[in-house]
Amino acid sequence: MKIIVLPGDGIGPEITEATTGVLRAASEAFQLGIEMEHDVVGLESFRLHGTTVKPELLDRVKAADGFVMGPTSTLDYKKGDAKQVGPSAFFRKGLDLFANIRPARTYAGMPARLGQFDLVVVRENTEGFYADRNMEAGNAEILVTPDVVVSLRKITRPACLRIARSAFELAGRRRNKVTAVHKANVLSVGDGMFLACCREVQKDFPEIELEEIIVDAMMAHVVRNPARFDVIVTTNMFGDILSDLTAEMSGSLGLGGSLNAGAETAMAQAAHGSAPDIAGQGIANPASLILSAALLLSWHGRRKGEPRYVEAGTAIEQAMADAIAAGECTRDIGGKLGTAAAGAAVAARLKR
Ligand code: NAD
């Protein structure tokens, strides 16, 4: 398996190094023959190449089996500068990475303020309220007058059908329940179509229950009783917000793994940002990116029909859970270790 590694900005290089250490240990333990090739995106790429993403990276990544990308400081990029595009949007759009898979679960050894739970948010990743990726050219936010803005939301049937299918397939490997989160009472045409697509796909999965919840009520339900949820499917912006909430509910945003998957390739990317406030201090939690890399291995294994990769992905998740239970983790989640040592603790468990 060939993986391209793009460390990104802020804490990106630190957590990426910890993650590649875990990938090397998994490769050895499960004889995966993982080859990693490093390149740059973000501010380092801008410094070296005059652009935050080299266009040729698209082909490089396509030729590999997947990639790991650290967070990028997109807020610091100059808006409207074609040489300072956000790498996430570039790859999600350029590679049609339509499914953002974001698991959230509680861990032994960490306080579970809302009870134990284990759920996955499946977020549509290519359209919705994301105005910067809704158009072939230009931006779907329009300044009509200096005081009037129109932001367009795009919802398409093919995108709804494929994200619904991803959710049902995932639920079939878990606890057979899909919750569709929507706002069809207000966005009756767009979210109405999203719901109709979920119902249509459900016909192919009669053993899987489909539940429908309005997004605002969902905030109460998920906080009140997260254990009742298995797979949650929703449109782009709702999923963005809900998955940060569920990651934080699991103990920390730094625990949320995230995979951006398309038909041909997938990007492992931490759910959090580049955390400039703690960059360079060696204290960032690498868990999110490590768990994202685990999702990438499992995705690859299922796609290629090679169970070793799925087993390696599961083993990384278990090693992470064991390390957290033993207190071998970073300070933000109650441990005492730095970034490198927290990564090494997971890697060491895989080698045992
Ligand atoms: P952030 O997620 O970077 O940080 C929010 C808070 O969480 C900070 O206090 C930070 O120290 C903490 N935190 C985040 N990740 C952590 C980790 N792994 N370990 C320990 N603590 C962690 O959000 P922000 O400050 O709003 O954004 C900073 C930059 O990141 C911005 O430029 C933003 O655009 C960018 N961003 C990038 C991505 C991405 O690349 N996928 C996602 C979100 C934000």
Query: Domains in the chain, ordered, with CATH?
Result: 1-96+265-351 (3.40.718.10)
Residues 6 or more apart whose CB falls under 8 angstroms from that of 217 comprise: none
Specify the range with the lowest mean pLDDT, choosing from 2-11, 36-45, 85-94: 85-94
Does residue 254 have its Cβ closer than 6 Å to ligand 1? Answer: yes
Answer yes or no: is pLDDT of 133 > 80: no
Cα 157-57-284 angle, rounded to 5 deg: 90
Rounded-to-integer distance, Cα 332 and Cα 69, Å: 22
Does residue 284 have its Cβ closer than 6 Å to ligand 1? Answer: yes
Which residue puts its alpha carbon closest to atom 1 of ligand 1? 273
Cα 117-119-125 angle, rounded to 5 deg: 150
Give the chain's largest Cα–Cα span.
Answer: 64
Q: What is the dihedral of CA 181, 183, 188, 192, to 10 degrees?
A: 0
Rounded-to-integer distance, Cα 102 and Cα 104, Å: 7
pLDDT digits (tens, 9 = 90+) for 180-211: 999 999 999 999 999 999 999 999 999 999 99
Closest atom, ligand 1, to C-alpha of 332: 20
Does residue 282 have its Cβ closer than 6 Å to ligand 1? Answer: no
- For residue 252, how far is its CA from the centre of ligand 1 (angstroms)? 12
pLDDT range class, residue 134, cuts 50, 70, 90: confident
pLDDT digits (tens, 9 = 90+) for 97-113: 999 999 999 999 888 88
Probe ligand 1: pick from 41, 272, 277, 324, max atoms within 8 Å of CB?
A: 272
Mean pLDDT of all residues in 206-218: 98
pLDDT range class, residue 20, cuts 50, 70, 90: very high
Does residue 281 have its Cβ closer than 6 Å to ligand 1? Answer: no
Answer yes or no: is pLDDT of 30 > 90: yes
Which tokens belong to 281?
A: 């201090």
Q: Map residue 103 onto helix, strand or coil.
A: strand
Does residue 260 have its Cβ closer than 6 Å to ligand 1? Answer: no
pLDDT, averaged across the chain: 96
Which residue puts its alpha carbon closest to atom 11 of ligand 1? 275
CB 160 within 8 A of CB 198: yes
What are the DSSP E strand ranges found in the chain?
2-6, 35-38, 66-69, 99-105, 118-124, 141-145, 148-151, 177-182, 209-214, 231-234, 259-261, 266-269
pLDDT digits (tens, 9 = 90+) for 223-249: 999 999 999 999 999 999 999 999 999
Residue 106 DSSP code: -
- For residue 11, how far is its CA from the centre of ligand 1 (angstroms)? 9
pLDDT range class, residue 44, cuts 50, 70, 90: very high
Rounded-to-integer distance, Cα 160 and Cα 244, Å: 21
Predicted confidence at residue 191, as pLDDT, reads 98
CB 245 within 8 A of CB 219: yes
Mean pLDDT of all residues in 77-95: 92
pLDDT range class, residue 80, cuts 50, 70, 90: confident
Rounded to 5 degrees, what are φ and ψ at 178? -120, 130
Closest CA to 239 of 95, 86, 97, 100: 100
pLDDT range class, residue 63, cuts 50, 70, 90: very high
Predicted confidence at residue 112, as pLDDT, reads 87
Percentage of the chain beyond pLDDT 70 is 100
Residue entry with tokens 């977020």:
123
Amino acid in position 228: R
3-state secondary structure 5-64: EECCCCCHHHHHHHHHHHHHHHHHHHCCCCEEEECCCCHHHHHHHCCCCCCCHHHHHHHC
pLDDT range class, residue 263, cuts 50, 70, 90: very high
Specify the range with the lowest mean pLDDT, choosing from 72-76, 110-114, 199-203, 267-271: 110-114
